Structure 1
Amino acid sequence: MAEAYPAYEERPRRRGRKVLVTLLVLLLLLAGLLVVADRVAAGVAERAIADQVEQEIAKQQAQSAPPQVDVGGFPFLTQVLGGRYERISIVLTDVRGAVGGNAVSVPRLDVDARNVQASLDTLRSGQGDVVAETVDGTGTVTYDSLAKLLDRPGLKLGEQDGRLVVTAPVDILGQKLTVTGTADVTVAEGNKVALRFNDLDAEGLPAVPLARTLLSNFARDISVDVPLPELPFQLNVRKVEPRPEGLTVTADAKDVPLNRAA
């Protein structure tokens, strides 16, 4: 006669599997809730920091669209409790500032703040400082804005093979010619961009010394130090580079308040 013991052994195994599955489901639910809570906290902090950044920009009399703020690092809740954030990315669009009565356009300014200190109380109350250990910024100044500052009718700037190129109408010895050439672009003291047009030519230029002298004078007149609008977050310009979309400006700063306590 067959024994019935195996039938009794299967029941504990089934119960064990059910308990294990239940535990796994609970763990997944808990993990999901933690992720949701983490992202909700991140969203609250991003909005709080965005508000304070917007106020800081307004204090500097600069204009921009509302900043887009993204707080990096995961898990986020541990950063909130510690009051220190690995990385905060800030995107400012349509940044404008007045320079010599002319508007200098920066369509987009990307700011990357690292090791940001911001206590939970500061984010909650809006009182206190939000300080970044390092800040790097990259923006683009449009060629139209630069051309307006040079104040030469018909002058156009652009990029070709990584160089700043110029095209402009000019009257030399009674002849209307088109000047073309390139410029050296460097950073000048005081967050200025130095434009030096050393290689200009004009097709049909009269082969006389006076014509060449007049062309050299034109190059000297448009070789200027262009002042940039005050960049937010105490950013200092380190590099400028001609690109198809405009003159790209790279800047950085250390120990920077992303806001200032009232």
Structure 2
Amino acid sequence: MHPYDYADATFPAYEPGDARPPRRNRRPVVIAVGSLLALLLVPVALDRFATARVESRTAEAFQEGMRTPSAPEVHVRGFPVLTQLAAGTLRHVDITAHDIPASDTTGPLPVSELSLRLAELRKSDDDTEALARSAEATALLSYPDMSDALGLEISRGSRPDQVRASVLLPTGDDVTVAATVSVLSGNRIAFKDFQVTGGLLPEVGRVALGEVFERPVRLRNIPQGLRLRSVTTTESGLSARLSGESVTFRSSDDGSRNDEVRDSVRDWVPGDSSYGYA
């Protein structure tokens, strides 16, 4: 046979599978990943549960304290919430309430919508109040409610700081008047620069309307500590901006209900054991 003639040579058959590395057991890896996911997801789920519970209780207590027909929308911001509950202070809480009734029958002015942004909400030492280190708020006062408070048909004026009123005279004629809205101390809304913008108004009517606009309207049904900063007109009503520090929420001003007030506020904000998280 020729030295380079391999026609008659035989070689062992090549099996591709012989070079494949041995198959590894991946089960321990899957178990490790699953355990890690469980460690991450369980605390998140518990925190979400705690958040939902404290939001629900805050809404119930606010509804009782402000006597709203429905519970407000409450959102506790910041993660994790469990650590905030353990510390006894919620860092940021947003509350949006609707149809807050007037508390003064001599000058009724309900608040159609109140949006609150609270910082560092906690309960008082005696469980009778909820306290926020600071708060910003926007209150919407509808034109129908303003009309009932002033006894005139109030609507939006031609400027952001102006309202308009329509007056029907005994003669059947319509007169349109306007006034500028501004802020006075004591959370009062003033109406200044009263003027007739349409029609003829007798002097006696001018005097009577002037007296109506000279009486400011006071906001009484808002949390203690909020101060009225500005007021502007919108399509649906007056938008009042408020802010303050050491803002206080009480469930009731009735001294005969101290126990009920204490229980309600205890459920409102985090405490040692009322939420069951400690």
TM-score, normalising length from structure 2?
0.72
**Mapped partners of 2:22, 2:165: distance in 1:** 86
Letter of the structure 2 residue corresponding to residue 168 of structure 1: V
Deviations 1:230-253, CA, capped at 9 Å, x for gaps: 312432211111111111122122
Q: Quote the Cα distance in structure 1 between the aligned partners of 2:61 and 2:234.
A: 32
- Structure 1 match to 2:241: 250
Task: Quote the residue 1:28 is aligned against.
Answer: 37
State the SS of the aligned residue for 1:141.
strand
Distance 1:45 1:235 in 2: 23
Report the alpha carbon displacement of residue 6 of structure 1 after superposing the two structures with TM: 4.0
**Residue 45 of structure 1 is aligned with which of 54, 68, 86?**
54
Listed one character per residue, the Cα deviations across residues 170-190 of structure 1 (whole Å, up to 9, x for unaligned) are 35xxx5431113211011222
1:238 paired to 2:225? no
Report what 1:196 is aligned to.
192
SS in structure 2 of the partner of residue 244 of structure 1 = coil
Aligned to 1:184: 180
Q: Which residue does the alignment assign to 1:138?
A: 138
Q: Which residue of 1 aligns with 2:112?
A: 107
Distance in 2 (CA, whole Å) between partners of 1:202 and 1:50 is 47
CA distance in 2, matches of 1:256, 1:86: 14
2:75 maps to 1:70? yes
Larger radius of gyration: 2
Amino acid at match of 1:252: S
Give the distance between the partners of 1:100 and 1:44, measured in 2 at CA: 35
Residue in 1 that maps onto 2:270? none
| Contact 1:113–1:135 under 8 Å retained in 2 | yes
Q: Take 1:195 and 1:88, find their aligned partners in 2: how far apart are those partners? A: 34
Q: Does 1:168 align with 2:167?
A: yes
Query: Residue 46 and residue 201 in structure 1: after superposition, are their counterparts in 2 closer, same or farther (change >3 A)?
Result: closer
Q: What's the secondary structure of 1:103's corresponding residue? A: coil
Aligned pairs for 1:86-125 (under 5 A) are: 86-101=91-106, 103-117=108-122
Q: 1:259 to 1:101 in 2, by over 3 A?
A: closer
Structure 1 unaligned runs (5+)?
none
Distance in structure 2 (CA, Å) of the matches to 1:21 and 1:128:
52
Query: What are the residue-to-residue correspondences of 1:73-84 with 2, within 5 Å?
Result: 73-84=78-89
Q: Contact conserved, 2:68 with 2:97, CA < 8 A, in 1? A: no
Secondary structure of the residue that 2:169 maps to in structure 1? strand
Report the more deviating stretch, 238-247 or 101-110.
101-110
Q: Is the 8 A contact 1:55 1:259 kept in 2?
A: no
- Structure with the bigger percentage of strand: 1
Q: 1:165 is aligned with what amino acid?
A: R
* Residues 69-115 of structure 1, C-alpha deviations (whole Å, 9 max, x = no match): 22111122222223332211122222112434453222221111112
Higher relative contact order (Cα pairs below 8 Å, separated by 6+ residues): 2
Give the partner amino acid of 1:158.
Answer: S
Query: In percent, how many aligned pairs have the same letter?
Result: 22
Output the TM-score relative to the length of structure 1: 0.75
